[in-house]
Structure 1
Amino acid sequence: MVTQLRVVTLNVWNTRGDAAARTALINAELRRLEPDLVALQEVLPEQLPGLIEGTGLHGTHQSQTSATAPPYVDRYGGTAIATRQPHRVAEVLDQRGPNAPDVPWLTLAALVPVRPTQSAVPGIAQPELGDILFIAPTTSFRLDAEAERERQVLALTDLEARHRTALPTIMAGDFNADSDASSIRYLTGRQSLSGRGTHFHDAWEVAGSGPGHTWSVDNPLAAEDIETLVRQPGHRRRLDYVFIGSPHTHPLAFARVRRTRLAFDKAPDGVWASDHYGVVADLEVGWMGSSSVTPASAT
């Protein structure tokens, strides 16, 4: 049995700017893309219903899952997930630390049932492939916070190990680090941290085209914060990722990345969805020995 999954991640930029117009644009694009797994960052609790209205997605905001209310969450928002199939939250991880006390974004880990794309026998429902672990993190944002991000990705791999299923884990979010940073190098198996190693596939590296910058001066909504936080011209970075669990930890299954591209990177009618661009990854998921299916045409 094989199925196709579409994964989307987007930093929503809370309620800054014309929040109503941006929410409508994000909602329209989610309806068009019809994703199966969505990771959203910087979302206020009251925003989530409008973002996923009419999409058929089941949403959970971090405020619904934890008694913890990190500082500034009412201003900068928190993490949310939305899934095509109803999900079960397995754990909520608070990533704040001594050098990052003001990070209001909790990490959500959820178990999501995966169903075959279509039945082999018309009219006969196929059994589910099983649960897949979907993790939605956000790490520390400051340029000088790579040590905190190292600590945070180590905690992410511990979280993943606690709830890992046989199907490859999918992790998507705003990691606030470019691909050459130690935190991302660790996740992609290029270096160790604290004597530890791991490996996830970076969906953009597998099937993306071009640099894949998601936070760029080319986006007017990002330009002001780039000036405040970076103060250098021409700043463009790839901060948003979709990671796929490795065969080393999922030997019996696969999640092949068929296509990865940017989303929310245009401004219809002059409206930008966010200060970040999003990432969309199309995956083919199944058990080793299963027959592949031809991926549907991307929309």
Structure 2
Amino acid sequence: MVTAVRVMTLNVWNNRGDAEARMALIKAGLRRLEPDLVAFQEVLPDQLPDLINGTRLHGTHQSQTVATEPPHADRYGGTAIATRWPHRIAEALNQRGTDASDIPWLTLAALVPLPELGDVLFIAPTTSFRLEAEAQRERQVLALSDLDARRRTALPTVMAGDFNADPDAACIRYLTGRQSLAGHSTHFHDAWEVAGSGPGHTWTAENPQAAEDIERLVRQPGHRSRFDYVFVGSPHAHPHAYARVRHAELAFDKPVGGVWASDHYGVVADVEVGKKDGPTKAI
């Protein structure tokens, strides 16, 4: 049995800009793209129900998982997930530290039952945003791999979110198995690297919604970064199952009627998930 799963990640950009017009555009895109697993970042609690209304998606906002919200969550929003099949939250991970105390985003990990296959672990993180915060992001991705090890199922883990780091950053190199951190190593497949076309930039000065923050944070002309990712687990961690990335593309990367959906472009990946019988041979 193989299940086709469409995974999407999108930074909603809370209520900045013309939020009403942007939310209408995102809602229309969700209905057109029909994703099965969605990771939202910077979404306000009252935005999530409206975004997924009429989509048959089941949503959970980070505010539903904790007694006390992190600072600034009321302004910048938090992490949320939406899934085609009813999910249950396995863990909500607070990755704030003494050097990242203003980060209002939690990581949500949910168990999602895929038809006839069983549960898949879906992790939706957002990591520290400052250019100089790579040390924080390294600690955060180490915590993500620990979370995966605690909660993973037989099916390959799916992880999607805004990592605020390009593919050559240490945190992303760690996740894709290209380097170790603090004596630890792991491996996920980067869906864009497997099946995307072109550079896949998701935070770029070409997007007018991003231009102000790029000027404030980067102050270099023509800045472009690939910050948003879909990852799937490795056969080394899931020897009796697979998640084959068949296609990856950008979403919300063009204006509609002069409106840009967000300051980030989204990423959509089509993944075939199935089980493999018999032993796995070592190379």
Question: What TM-score, normalized to structure 2?
Answer: 0.97
1:139 to 103, 127, 130: 127
What is the Cα-based RMSD across aligned positions, in Å? 0.9
Tell me the CA shift for residue 98 of structure 1. 1.3
- 1:177 aligns with 165
Taking the TM superposition and a 5 Å limit, the aligned residue runs for 1:1-299 are: 1-115=1-115, 128-289=116-277
Report the more deviating stretch, 61-70 or 8-17.
61-70
Q: Deviations over 1:202-227 (max 9, x none)?
A: 00000000000000000000000000
Q: How many Å separate the matches in 1 of 2:7 and 2:273?
A: 12
Tell me the CA shift for residue 16 of structure 1. 0.2
Q: How many Å separate the matches in 1 of 2:57 and 2:139?
A: 32
Q: How many Å separate the matches in 2 of 1:160 and 1:27?
A: 30
Q: How many Å separate the matches in 2 of 1:202 and 1:152?
A: 18
- Residue 158 of structure 1 aligns to a residue whose secondary structure is helix
Q: Deviations over 1:176-229 (max 9, x none)?
A: 000000000000000000011000000000000000000000000000000001
Q: How many Å separate the matches in 1 of 2:17 and 2:50?
A: 16
| Unmatched 5+ stretches in structure 1 | 116-127, 291-299
| Unmatched 5+ stretches in structure 2 | 279-283
Q: Deviations over 1:110-156 (max 9, x none)?
A: 000001xxxxxxxxxxxx20000000000000000000000000000
- Residue 269 of structure 1 aligns to a residue whose secondary structure is coil
Name the amino acid aligned to 1:273: A
* Percent identity of equivalent pairs: 78
Tell me the CA shift for residue 67 of structure 1. 1.2
Tell me the CA shift for residue 102 of structure 1. 0.3
- Residue 274 of structure 1 aligns to a residue whose secondary structure is coil
The total of aligned residue pairs comes to 278
Question: What TM-score, normalized to structure 1?
Answer: 0.92
Name the amino acid aligned to 2:207: N
Tell me the CA shift for residue 289 of structure 1. 4.8
Name the amino acid aligned to 1:9: T
- 1:118 aligns with none
Name the amino acid aligned to 2:206: D
Q: How many Å separate the matches in 2 of 1:165 and 1:17?
A: 40
Tell me the CA shift for residue 38 of structure 1. 0.2
- Residue 257 of structure 2 aligns to a residue whose secondary structure is helix
Tell me the CA shift for residue 68 of structure 1. 2.9
